[in-house]
Structure 1
Amino acid sequence: MLVRFITPLVLLCVFAGALPARAQEPAKPASQCQMIAQALPDVVFASVRSADVQSDGTVDITYIGHSTFFIETAGGVKIATDYNGWYRTPSLPTVVRMNRAHSSHYTMAPDAAIAHVLHGWRDDGGPADHDLVVGDVYIRNVPTDIRGWGGAMVENGNSIFIFEIAGLCIGHLGHLHHELTEKQYAEIGRLDVLMVPVDGGLTMGTESMSRVVERLRSALILPMHRRGPPIAQFLSMFDESFDVSLSDTATVKVSTATLPRRPLILVLKGV
């Protein structure tokens, strides 16, 4: 007789326990480089280490050409930035990331043996969203707009990729066409190593790009994408608070212990 007093809501609660639990989406890895924006533009860096990512070791960074660097981790992960298939990497990359500004920054026919091919854009015009751990690397991106062939900005056509490796935050600006917003600075967070285009116009003017570099204040700055103007034009934008070094090799070994104490613009061989 008591059953007649059981409401549909009670029955739903009773039977809900017998239903299979809904699969939860996996949580994103914790970024050790992310900023906590308390009062932009003044921010506090979050010092959070992901349990999923190794936090020691040395990273080898080799300049291959144009905007392509080859990054090798202690765990054996190999990453090629702005991969176009033209520039030959020392070995097959594990991960390639691309941007679609020009055909020199992407290929639609990458080697099928490459495990992870990451586009910095989406075909539907939405923002690309990458959050993945590959071996000892956490990879994420911050979308930016890009200038179309007619001169108008195209939303979400470029991505700044951030690689968190061995306690380091390594950022590649891609084909950046505009100065960053406060929101984008907050999404990027701390960058210990910065790969920056220095063409002086195909991406952004030298003065605009130098303001981005000064704001990010990375320990190690690696110029790339130099077309036309001499590297001296870019270097002349910085005062004595930035050190400059011209390397006779295309590779630099980086670790948290060897980061320069003052910002260093290191021009690798080939740039």
Structure 2
Amino acid sequence: MLRCFSAVLALLCQLIAPAFAEDVPRSECLAMANAPPRATPVSLRLADAKPGEVTITYAGHSTYYIDTPGGIRIATDFSGAYTTGRLPDVVTMNRAHSTHYTLFPDPRIPHVLHGWRDDGAPAKIAERIGDVYIRNVTTDIRRYFGEDSSGEMIKDGNSIFIFEVAGLCIGHLGHLHVKLDDSQFAAIGRLDIVMVPIDGTYTMSLDGISDITRRLRASVVLPMHRFMTPLDEFMHLVGQQFAIDVRTERTLTISRDTLPDTPTVIILRGV
């Protein structure tokens, strides 16, 4: 009898386990980055991803709006000062200045994701919201102005947010102050589109951010947090392997199939 019960229990576990596995968020961008050359797991085939285009709009400073094919609207480094169109469904924030976060977001925003934790532990975000999977990789950040200007580092005070949607891997580097180590590059995985701060002073030097941009080698680089940075200086540091595309619009509509063949810095109006 006991042996029979054990067999039945094992069978039930086999039947139930896949259902639970489906509920566990997973990063397809990490899996594709780690896959052997020419080998793509069945679960990661682009045909399995929700088809459609993603629309990215530059609102100002470090705030981009991402509109997914499934109707989810995301605002990055959201403070409420830079808005466009309808209210976002998701906002991400970083603990640099008040231009990168707000403690009093519109209560109608259903998902507010902080890139830090008040208890000093690293923020851990891995959420599927509609058709987008959102995760983060933490980095250290300097103390700034309102708190003090000592230059002391706050461990895990900034988050690089990664948005996985429609077969695209989209990264936002936040208010990045430090070089990334190998473990952080590995945790980020493959990026198709990356938003990088190019002010050269408040975040990282242009040399530092250019090194990171070259190593990530995303198909599309979207500058932000620019201030008065000469764009030709950034382009010179990034190198000739990146093309440059200056747009007269604030909005970019893109899909997996329309990514440029050559890595390209796209400068939207307002940057």
SS in 2 for 1:104: coil
- Aligned positions of 1:69-148 closer than 5 A: 69-148=64-143
Amino acid at match of 2:221: I
Cα distance in structure 1, aligned partners of 2:150 and 2:39: 39
Q: For residues 91-136 of structure 1, what are the alpha-carbon distances to aligned partners after superposition, in whole Å with 9 as ceiling and x for unaligned?
A: 1100000001110000011010101000000000111011111111
Report what 2:214 is aligned to.
214
* C-alpha contact 2:79 2:98 (8 A) present in aligned 1: yes
The answer to whether the 8 Å contact 2:122/2:156 transfers is yes
Alignment of 1:144-163 (within 5 A): 144-148=139-143, 149-163=149-163
CA distance in 1, matches of 2:167, 2:190: 11
TM-score normalised to structure 1 length: 0.85
Give identity over the alignment, percent.
49
Give the 3 Å change call, closer, same or farther, for CA 120–204 of structure 1 in structure 2. same
Is 1:242 the counterpart of 2:242? The answer is yes
Instruction: Please name the residue that 1:4 is paired with.
Output: none
Is 1:30 the counterpart of 2:26 in the alignment?
yes
| Gaps in structure 2 of 5+ consecutive residues | 14-19, 144-148
Partner AA of 1:240 in structure 2: Q
- TM, length-normalised to structure 2: 0.85
Are the structure 2 counterparts of residues 258 and 99 from structure 1 closer, same or farther at C-alpha, using a change threshold of 3 Å?
Answer: same
Question: Which residue identity is paired with 1:84?
Answer: S
Question: Counterparts of 1:43 and 1:92 in 2: how far apart (Å)?
Answer: 41
- Contact 1:217–1:263 (8 Å) recurs in 2: yes
| Residues 83/226 of structure 1: CA separation in 2 closer, same or farther (3 Å cut) | same
Secondary structure in 1 aligned to 2:234? helix
Contact 1:34 1:46 (C-alpha < 8 Å) held by counterparts = no
Counterpart in 2 of 1:62? 57
SS state at 1:144 partner: strand
User: Cα RMSD over matched residues?
Assistant: 2.6
For 1:202, the aligned partner's letter is Y
The 1:236–1:249 alpha-carbon spacing in structure 2 relative to 1, beyond 3 Å, is same
Q: Is the 8 A contact 1:45 1:190 kept in 2?
A: no
What is the alpha-carbon distance in structure 2 between the residues aligned to residue 117 and residue 43 of structure 1?
37
Q: Deviation of residue 88 (structure 1)?
A: 1.9
SS, match of residue 28 in structure 2: coil
SS of residue paired to 1:33: helix
- Counterparts of 1:216 and 1:90, CA distance in 2: 31
Could you tell me which amino acid in structure 2 is paired with residue 32 of structure 1?
A: E
Deviates more, 1:235-244 or 1:133-142: 235-244
Contact persistence 1:64–1:88 (CA under 8 A): yes
State the shift of 1:208 in Å: 0.6
Could you tell me which residue of structure 1 aligns to residue 194 of structure 2?
A: 194
Cα distance in 1 for residues equivalent to 2:113 and 2:58: 19
**How many pairs were matched up?**
249
- Taking structure 1 as reference, are residues 44 and 109 closer, same or farther at Cα in structure 2, changes over 3 Å only? farther
Rg bigger for which structure? 1
What are the Cα deviations for residues 218-251 of structure 1, in whole angstroms up to 9, with x where unaligned? 0000000002322222112122211001110000
Residue identity matched to 2:103? M
Residue 146 of structure 2 is matched in structure 1 by none
d(CA) in 2 for partners of 1:198 and 1:44? 34
Give yes or no for contact 1:32–1:46 (8 Å, CA) kept in 2.
Answer: no
Structure-2 change in CA distance of 1:264 and 1:222 (3 Å):
same
* Higher normalized helix content (fraction of residues): 2
Q: 1:206 to 1:229 in 2, by over 3 A?
A: same
CA contact (8 A) 1:98 1:120 kept: yes
Cα contact 1:79–1:96 (8 A) shared by 2: yes
- Asked if the contact 2:213/2:238 (under 8 Å) is kept, the reply is no
Q: Distance in 1 between matches of 2:109 and 2:38?
A: 37
- Amino acid in structure 1 at the alignment position of 2:139: T
1:269 aligns with 2:269: yes
